[in-house]
């Protein structure tokens, strides 16, 4: 039960696309054909979860509300049938089907949920239920679980409140209805809350090991493929690491959009984006997400300029050099100064007229 956001993070079309991209580029650990099977598994689960978790009438793709429209019925039944056949065929290493083992709760719960939605759609088509559309998120346990979490919070996270405590907590919730409720000790997490994962770096290495590591990173020459060659002034993150460059370019679009909103100058905004004058060469992962064959895929990712990539690549290299000193108070100042020093002789953000 206490899965929090794990399932929502793993079952994602972005994760499936990233796995296919890693397999196509033959990265270590992703060359096996099983990677494609895992990608298809995640993609199908993502579509199923979107249908079973629709919350908005105006949403697009599989996240839109369910109606009695013929295309909607066919699309939903196609996904449900494929997912049900997949879950029924999943087996353990000994050959036993997962639905016949004590760990059948998860797949059986998904199958039951799909059957409930099928039944409700049939009732809507037969006019036994007077609904124009169906928001399946309203059928989940999130609402009552979030409500129980709010009650627990008002009693010091007590799981066994007295009748008087329950009555007072319920009254307070009625008075303050409409305010955000963020329970911290429940089995589910509100989907409007964003959870940022953290990384714990290894601290067992000595200072001499860190110095040697920094010297090896800065002294080694860069030997990349022609399509992914990093100019000398950009610095390097990890030798021959195509994945790092592509991932940073993928994430850089978020920084570009955020900075562009705060700059009133149109010329300054234009140099943040990819152009023929300042191109970004690390666009392979962005292209996979933008131009995938899936008709319902998310499109429109931002491609950063080459200057933005130079800055981010150097920042990443500096952070990795000081990865064992992330708790230092002056780390941001040090990384900023080192980055500016390394990029002092590099031409950035040139406006071509």
Mean residue pLDDT of the chain comes to 75
pLDDT at residue 169 is higher than 90: no
- DSSP per-residue codes, 118-157: HHHHHHHHTTSS--S-B-GGGGSSHHHHHHHHHHHHTTTS
Between 141 and 63, name the one with better pLDDT. Answer: 63
pLDDT at residue 166 is higher than 70: yes
Report the sign of the C-alpha dihedral through residues 149, 152, 157, 159, in that order: negative
Using the structure block, give the residue that is written with the tokens 């449900």: 80
Lowest mean pLDDT among 108-122, 217-231, 333-347: 217-231
Between 143 and 205, name the one with better pLDDT. Answer: 143
What whole-number distance in Å separates Cα of residue 146 and Cα of residue 335?
Answer: 41
User: 162: left (phi > 0), else alpha (psi -120 to 50), else beta?
Assistant: beta
Residue 156 CA, chain-centre distance (Å), reads 32
Dihedral through CA 292, CA 295, CA 296, CA 300, nearest 10? 50
Lowest mean pLDDT among 18-27, 119-128, 182-191, 268-277: 182-191
The burial of 174, by beta-carbon neighbours within 10 Å (0-12 exposed, 13-18 middle, 19 or more buried), is given as exposed
Alpha helix (H) residue ranges in 154-195: 163-175
Per-residue model confidence (pLDDT) at position 8: 60
Angle between helices 207-219 and 306-321 (to 10 degrees): 150
Question: How many other CB atoms are found less than 10 A from the CB of residue 91?
Answer: 12
Dihedral through CA 153, CA 157, CA 158, CA 164, nearest 10? -20
Between 328 and 333, name the one with better pLDDT. Answer: 333
Per-residue pLDDT, averaged over 176-192, amounts to: 51
Task: Read off the pLDDT of residues 262-321 as tens digits, 9 standing for 90 and up.
Answer: 888 888 888 888 888 888 888 888 877 765 544 444 457 888 988 888 888 888 888 888
How crowded is the C-beta side of 38, counted as CA atoms within 13 Å? 16
Q: Which two tokens stand for residue 166?
A: 């329950």
Tell me how far CA of residue 181 lies from CA of 1, 150, 154, 192, 258, in angstroms.
Answer: 20, 6, 11, 11, 28
Q: Which two tokens stand for residue 66?
A: 């369910």
Between 6 and 288, name the one with better pLDDT. Answer: 288
pLDDT at residue 179 is higher than 50: no
Tell me how far CA of residue 109 lies from CA of 103, 112, 143, in angstroms.
Answer: 11, 5, 18
* β strands within 192-249, DSSP E: none
Per-residue pLDDT, averaged over 79-88, amounts to: 92
Per-residue model confidence (pLDDT) at position 211: 47
Between 331 and 177, name the one with better pLDDT. Answer: 331
Per-residue model confidence (pLDDT) at position 222: 37
Q: Which two tokens stand for residue 333?
A: 């100042």
Q: Which two tokens stand for residue 315?
A: 């920042």
């Amino acid at each position: 039960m206490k899965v929090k956001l794990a399932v929502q993070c793993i079952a994602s079309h972005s994760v499936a696309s990233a796995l296919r991209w890693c397999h196509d580029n033959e990265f270590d650990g992703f060359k096996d054909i099983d990677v494609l099977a895992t990608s298809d598994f995640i993609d199908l689960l993502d579509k199923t979860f979107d249908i079973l978790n629709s919350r908005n009438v105006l949403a697009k793709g599989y996240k839109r509300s369910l109606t009695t429209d013929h295309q909607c019925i066919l699309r939903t039944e196609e996904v449900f049938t494929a997912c049900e056949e997949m879950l029924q065929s999943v087996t353990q290493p000994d050959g036993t089907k997962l639905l016949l083992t004590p760990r059948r709760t998860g797949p059986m719960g998904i199958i039951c949920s799909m059957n409930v939605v099928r039944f409700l759609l049939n009732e809507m088509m037969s006019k036994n239920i007077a609904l124009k559309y169906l928001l399946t998120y309203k059928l989940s346990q999130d609402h009552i679980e979030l409500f129980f979490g709010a009650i627990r919070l008002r009693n010091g996270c007590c799981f066994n409140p007295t009748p008087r405590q329950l009555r007072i907590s319920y009254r307070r919730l009625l008075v303050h209805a409409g305010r955000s409720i963020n329970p911290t000790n429940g089995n589910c997490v509100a989907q409007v809350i964003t959870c940022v994962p953290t990384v714990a770096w290894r601290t067992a290495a000595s200072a001499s090991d860190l110095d040697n590591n920094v010297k090896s990173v800065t002294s080694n020459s860069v030997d990349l493929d022609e399509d992914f060659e990093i100019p000398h002034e950009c610095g390097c993150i990890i030798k021959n690491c195509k994945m790092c460059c592509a991932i940073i370019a993928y994430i850089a679009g978020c920084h570009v959009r955020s900075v562009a909103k705060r700059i009133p100058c149109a010329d300054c905004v234009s140099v943040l984006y990819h152009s023929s004058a300042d191109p970004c060469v690390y666009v392979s992962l962005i292209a996979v997400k933008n131009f995938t064959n899936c008709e319902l895929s998310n499109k429109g990712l931002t491609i950063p300029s080459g200057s933005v990539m130079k800055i981010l690549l150097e920042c990443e290299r500096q952070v990795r050099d000081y990865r064992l000193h992330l708790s230092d108070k002056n780390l941001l100042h040090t990384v900023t100064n080192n980055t500016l020093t390394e990029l002092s002789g590099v031409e950035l953000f040139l406006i071509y007229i």
